Amino acid sequence: MRSSLSVALAVVVAACGTDSVPRDGGGSNEPEVVDPNVCDTSYLDYDNFGAPFTINWCRGCHSSAVPMAMRQKAPADANFDNLDQVRMWGDRMAMHATGTMPNMPPAGGPSPEERSLLAEWLACGAK
């Protein structure tokens, strides 16, 4: 199962560290620009995209269930456990996980295509 693999990978990454990956957190990345017209036909929603994406790529560090020592410097209040939390952090997610220089997740992560879908889903209101 992909989510089990992601959890295992997150544990390995946490054990190995990720100091070679930029962690500026200063917002140097510009989020991917999404044509607003795509929102008229976008099929992406929380059930078919947002929840699976955050489970696979984000919640290894950004979940209230993850102890602080295992969060890889993720702030304690930056949790993506549900749609409301994702919406609250959506602008920051777009800034750090999409665009030309994504730095989240810190150990690599989603393909450019998956990152573009994330940008679309967030830009269209994370419905």
**Are 114 and 53 contacting, i.e. CB atoms less than 8 angstroms apart?**
yes
pLDDT tens-place string over residues 38-96? 999 999 999 999 999 999 999 999 999 999 999 999 999 999 999 999 999 999 999 99
**Are 79 and 62 contacting, i.e. CB atoms less than 8 angstroms apart?**
yes
Residue 104 has pLDDT above 90, yes or no: yes
**Are 119 and 32 contacting, i.e. CB atoms less than 8 angstroms apart?**
yes
Confidence of residue 14 (pLDDT cuts 50, 70, 90): very low
Looking up tokens 């967030």, which residue turns up? 122
The pLDDT of residue 108: 82
CA torsion 12-13-16-20 (nearest 10°) is 160
Using a cut of 0.85, tell me whether the model's pTM lies above it.
Answer: no
Q: Report percent pLDDT > 70 for the chain.
A: 78
